[in-house]
Chain A
Amino acid sequence: MSLPAPEPQKSAQPVPSRKWPEFLRHIPLVLYSLIIITPLSLVFFATFKDLSQLYTNPLGLPRSWDLANYTRLFQNENMVVYFKNSMIVTFTSVFFILFFGSMISYAIIRMPKWTGAILFSFITLGMMIPTQVNMIPTYVFFAKLDLLNKHLGLIIVTVATLLPICVFILTGFMKTLPKGLIEAAMIDGASHWKIYTRLVLPLSGPALATAAIFCFVIAWNDLLYPLLFIKSAELKTLPLALLQFQGEYLTDYPMIFSGVVVASIPMVIIYTFLQKYFIAGMTAGSMKG
């Protein structure tokens, strides 16, 4: 968030007139980042305040950088367990989404044109069905399979719901890979598996990163399916636990905010690591390598 804010020119030197449009163009960006940053920082500051301080001084900086809320969070609650649960569910899901998604996408681009197009539309149709529609059938179905209240069930349903987006992103990217490369590998003696692992996967880095971030964010923040599937306290994921905080600490906003901040740390880390590829993936195909 280090967007360089355009500083007002203090010197008397006249600003070259053609500089103005560029300066003007930054204004909406600056406003937008303020809209995003302000509530975020209020939440962040609030985690260092106690309740009375929050009420008397909701907008200012905290009196001291006191970690009491965080300590309390990890001592009183099973924060570590929730965190671990979220990690397990999200990372396993994202891994399998990318694993299956990339294989499906590879298959689609290597199939005869029509079969590939049909399979592609069939899978991506999944993106258009709102979760609410198949919530109850899924519940009943998973109950029969005895997958309720288990991480495995949660992982399976997460993989299934996010696979279409992943296939959508990856197929779009893989289609732009030069066909000659794959043909060269075929002539060099590569099987489908080798072409997939040695050529297509390494070259799809940006698209994989994009899909990974997408799916990670959605899976990590998902509340609906954990709420639907998970009953036992020791299996709860972070968003579900935070929901329960709201009942527990009805008015203890600093505690709730602390939970939110802790919950968002992994996303920030992942994004920081992958953002280089993320941007490349978003613009893939607009340029030739």
Chain B
Amino acid sequence: MAGVKLEGVAKHFKGAVAVAEFNLDIKDGEFLVLVGPSGCGKSTTLRMVAGLEEPTYGRIMIGNKDVTKLEPKDRDIAMVFQDYALYPHMNVYHNLAFGLKLRKMPKNEIEERVKMAAEILSISHLLERYPRQLSGGQRQRVALGRAIVRNPQVFLMDEPLSNLDAKLRVQMRAELVKLQRRLKTTTIYVTHDQTEAMTMGDRIVVMKDGYIQQVGTPEEIYHEPANLFVADFVGSPSMNFLEGELCTEEGCIWFKAQGIRVNLRNSLNLEELNENKVVLGIRPEDIYLHRPSPEKVCEELLCQTELIEDLGSEKIVFLKIEGQELQARLRDGAAPVTVGGNTPAYLNLNKVHLFRKSTGKKILFRGR
């Protein structure tokens, strides 16, 4: 078992920057998720840890060992690929045993380890089969099995669930997390699916265009997004954004947009900010359509309802205010609204986020 440390790691492909600068200290036994849109450099980062790509700059440590220049086979890692990459001419047993045989492990020990891994993943009955005779989910398990029999220092997984259908994906997600808790092996997991990231990671790294946007626990990422990108990327439906300006009136900070005035009831140093164009963000579940209990500090806005999506356990209400759109998520009972009518919407001011319009960076309130 060991942690992984990336120090100023960068990867350039013929001048194009795939990963700009990656600094991260991954703790021993941690489940770390790299998440971001397509092409942001997640796979490249993972492949550099695996040793399949050589970093242009920087240093990679596994445990206390500098592995930057080492071959993949000398790094004591295992990787699960998106397309599983099972050896098609070997049956499941030999797929699992291949890595152990190469390490010259005695035969009976190999057998023991393969049997144990197969049991953990409940694929014991498939050991004689060839990859082409397996379903997608079974192949996925074999790919995982090939990683765990080796008992490596680090698991690397590149979108291992993305080829599965939705239901199986949810099931495997939970199983993977349980497996990782049980084995306590440091894991770096790549996905472009924010739900996967939120549900699986001990910590999440959000990336965009080769840069780390934010590192944090799922709660931090969700409730304290560091910038507009993270706020928008995480959460489904995603956060609502209103564009406007900040100004001071009657000793309070106000957010103003055309036809919208929100008293933020919070203190900010506007001079320090030296720009007043901002984006106000609020998550759909922090907008209420009926008057909340008085201890919640809210601002009331009058909106038109445009559409209601009923998802069974919750309803998504699409609202419009002065040409800007908002979505509210209602969890309890029937929505007290009808489509096409006007309704008051209450924004929970404790859950409001402000971002600079120019850079997208979060603006911190004094009080929090």
Contact = CB atoms under 8 A, between A and B. Distances in A.
Contacts of B146: 184, 188
A130 interface: no
Given A186-B72, A187-B78, A188-B150, A178 B52 contact: no
Interface in A185-234: 185-191, 194, 198-199, 202-203
Interface string B340-355: 0000000000000000
Interface residues on B, range: 20 to 34
B83 A187 contact: no
B297 interface: no
Interface in B68-89: 71-73, 77-79, 81, 83, 85-89
Given A180-B81, A194-B102, A187 B87 contact: no
Max chain B Cβ within 10 angstroms of own Cβ: one of A178, A189, A202: A189
Contacts of B63: none
Contact of A181 (B71, B79, B85): B85
B99 interface: yes
Nearest to A183: B52
A184 B52 contact: no
A28 interface: no
Interface in A142-198: 178, 180-181, 183-191, 194, 198
Interface of A is mostly: helix
A178 B83 contact: yes
A70 B124 CA distance: 60
A188 B85 contact: no
B157 interface: no
A265 to B, nearest CB: 32
Nearest to B88: A289
Nearest to B74: A189
A196 to B, nearest CB: 13
Contacts of B89: 202-203
Most buried by B among A183, A194, A202: A183
B81 A183 contact: yes
B21 to A, nearest CB: 25
A186 B78 CA distance: 10
Contact of A189 (B81, B85, B87, B103): B103
Interface string B32-59: 0000000000000000001110000000
Interface in B82-120: 83, 85-89, 98-99, 102-103
A188 B102 contact: yes
B87 A178 contact: no
A216 to B, nearest CB: 24
B87 A186 contact: no
Contact of A178 (B79, B85, B103, B150): B85
Q: How large is the interface on A (under 10, 10 to 19, 20 to 34, 35 or more residues)?
A: 10 to 19
Contacts of A187: 50-52, 72-73, 77-79, 99
Contacts of A185: 87, 98
A184 B79 contact: yes
Contacts of B86: 184
B88 A203 contact: yes
A184 B297 CA distance: 55
A281 to B, nearest CB: 16
A229 B102 CA distance: 46
A190 B102 contact: yes
A190 B73 contact: yes
Contacts of B52: 183, 186-187
A13 to B, nearest CB: 43
A207 B361 CA distance: 57
Contacts of A178: 83, 85
A211 B196 CA distance: 47
A198 B90 CA distance: 10
B240 to A, nearest CB: 40
B186 to A, nearest CB: 15
Given A183-B52, A203-B89, A189 B102 contact: yes
A191 B104 CA distance: 13
A156 to B, nearest CB: 33
Nearest to A289: B88
Nearest to A190: B102
Contacts of A183: 50, 52, 72, 79, 81, 85
A109 to B, nearest CB: 15
Interface of A: 178, 180-181, 183-191, 194, 198-199, 202-203, 289
Given A186-B52, A186-B73, A190-B102, 20 more contacts: A178-B83, A180-B81, A180-B83, A181-B87, A183-B85, A184-B86, A185-B98, A186-B71, A187-B51, A187-B52, A187-B77, A188-B73, A188-B98, A189-B73, A189-B102, A189-B103, A191-B73, A198-B98, A199-B87, A202-B89
12 contacts: A180-B81, A181-B87, A184-B85, A184-B86, A186-B52, A186-B72, A186-B73, A187-B52, A187-B73, A187-B79, A191-B73, A198-B98
List the 10 shortest-distance A-B pairs measured between CB atoms, nearest first: A188-B99, A180-B85, A189-B73, A184-B85, A189-B102, A186-B72, A187-B72, A202-B89, A180-B81, A187-B79
Interface of B: 50-52, 71-73, 77-79, 81, 83, 85-89, 98-99, 102-103, 132, 146, 150
